[in-house]
Amino acid sequence: MEQLIELLVLLGGTLVLATFFGTYLARMISYENRPIEKTLAIVENKFYRLIGIDVSRQMSWKEYFSALFITNIIVVVVIILILVFQNYLPFSNNVEGFSLDLAVHTAISFITGTNLQHYAGDQQLSNLSQMLAITFTMFVAPASGIATAFAFIRSFIRKNFGLGNFYMDFIRVILTLLLPVSFISALILMMIGVPQTLDSSITITPLESALYNGNNTTITETTATVGPIASLESIKLLGNNGGGFFGSNSAHAFENPTGLSNLYEMFLMLIIPLSFPIAYAKLMGLGRGLSILVTMLIGFGVLLSFSLTSENGPLLLETRFGSFGSALFDTTSLGTNSGAVNSSLAGMSSNAVTSFFLAMFVQAIPGAVGTGMMTMIIYVLLTLFIVGLMVGKSPEFMSMKISPRDIKLAVFIFLLHPANILIPTVIAFTTGNAQAIVGEQVTAMGFTQTLYEYTSAAANNGSDYFGTAADTPFWNWSTAIVMFLGRYVPIGLMLAIAGSFTLKDRKEVIEPIKTKGPLFISILVVMTFLLTALSFFPFLIMGPISI
């Protein structure tokens, strides 16, 4: 009963606030007045003037993608310099600079929203690096994804007009959404026990030593690493980033101290992804938006149910969360492509790990901020195409014909994901680099760990088994390439589809199936999991299902 109440509180509270966030996102997408619009406009206009943005200029899909890509690459270069030379910068905490391959890997990992960590942050990063290279990038990555989703959704409601202005969307998202919400969330996290300080360590006297009054007693003290943890945790979860301050991520007591913090952090991961279907409903019809939302929730329910079909742990699980708390948190994290985990993956059951794989294969239940919603629309287009073939009708969406070019782009987006996962996995085994970590005798667990590494990288998820063991040139460069391709190629192709829809005629036509209602939801759920199973099922059999 307690577990059911926890789940209902999480989903109920998230959906209630998602209605407010979704309304706000809809106004940002359509350029309608927001609450305190004049005040927000004053702040935003100062930034526009500072960097010379002409907010009245609308961008084509190529211009929008170029602006996003160049902005992200500039940030990557800055991060690499900070990480390589962090030992020469203030607040170095006596840590060494990163090797070039690890610095490049980390920079690409965080700018793509993956946050796959081949380092232990509490041991290898200075507080300055944690703030500038890590926390700052945790704003840039989700803001880029949300801005792209804005442009993508606009293509369905605007004809013969650009997709918006990337720089305008990007700044508005950071200044009026991510920054204020993460600031408030950081204060809440501090109140429930997450540290926030510029000190690099604190001295702790264990309770047993402090209370023991025997003669000749030596009170034992220990030093614990601390830093600006609450501020990092807040945007890490709100922006579906996932990279932890500590190597053990959200299993660490300073990142996730109590059951209350565990519940609140799940709430942060879900709020923006579930707000996008609400925004979609505000702009394109209540039925269409709610159908997308229900599809995401059904998919999430399937993942959670499957992860709970067998007991997790008790080894390698935090006792303060237990089997259900660990499965719920990790499913929420993997479902939103955050990648934060509050337990060791090795402590989770094979069914739970299979569920995590499915979440990363689909990437849309509900998916990461912005990109999850776009990926779900890609599944909608594929579903309409397949249903159209079945009933002998040309596919239509939102009173617009879906062209062969649109379908080709959607299919390429879908097929890129398995290729981006399976080809590097084969290379890792054929070159012996996988065996160097999992052992010469490759077991189902060893195959699972290797497949998981590239699945997490391709899905821009960031959870993994290997951790610092993968800090080698091969793993750093190979996963960096996979993360890069898994982020920017789909975004570019999705914007190309968006650009195509801005030019289409909008006529009242009969869709092969109405994109709302129980029938559409059922077909979309089945098609999403069926397409995923056809692509990956043999590899799940070889890996987690056989553990």
Q: What is the 3-class SS of 261-318, one letter each residue? A: HHHHHHHHHHHHHHHHHHHHHHHHCHHHHHHHHHHHHHHHHHHHHHHCCCCCCCCCEC
Query: How much is the average pLDDT of 4-27?
Result: 95
pLDDT at position 55 is 82
Query: How much is the average pLDDT of 128-144?
Result: 96
pLDDT at position 313 is 85
Residue whose structure tokens are 């402590």: 347
pLDDT at position 324 is 95
Query: How much is the average pLDDT of 498-503?
Result: 92
239-289 residue pLDDT tens: 999 999 998 999 999 999 999 999 999 999 999 999 999 999 999 999 999
Asked if 256 and 130 count as a contact pair (C-beta separation under 8 A), the reply is no
CA-to-CA dists, residue 497 to 116, 289, 401, 413, 528, angstroms: 29, 20, 12, 11, 19
Higher-pLDDT residue of 207 and 489 is: 489
Distance, CA of 73 to CA of 76 (rounded, Å): 5
Q: Which of 283, 356, 300 is nearest to 26 (CA)?
A: 283
Dihedral sign, Cα of residue 140, residue 141, residue 145, residue 151:
positive
> In whole numbers, what is the pLDDT of the chain averaged over residues?
92
pLDDT at position 90 is 87
Distance, CA of 512 to CA of 520 (rounded, Å): 10
pLDDT bracket for residue 211 (50, 70, 90) = low
301-310 burial: b if 16+ Cβ within 10 Å, else e:
ebbbebbbee
* 498 pLDDT above the threshold of 70: yes
Query: How much is the average pLDDT of 507-516?
Result: 78
pLDDT bracket for residue 94 (50, 70, 90) = confident
Tokens of 335: 């479902």
Distance, CA of 371 to CA of 514 (rounded, Å): 24
Tokens of 170: 């990007």
* 512 pLDDT above the threshold of 80: no
3-state SS, residue 509: coil
pLDDT at position 507 is 75
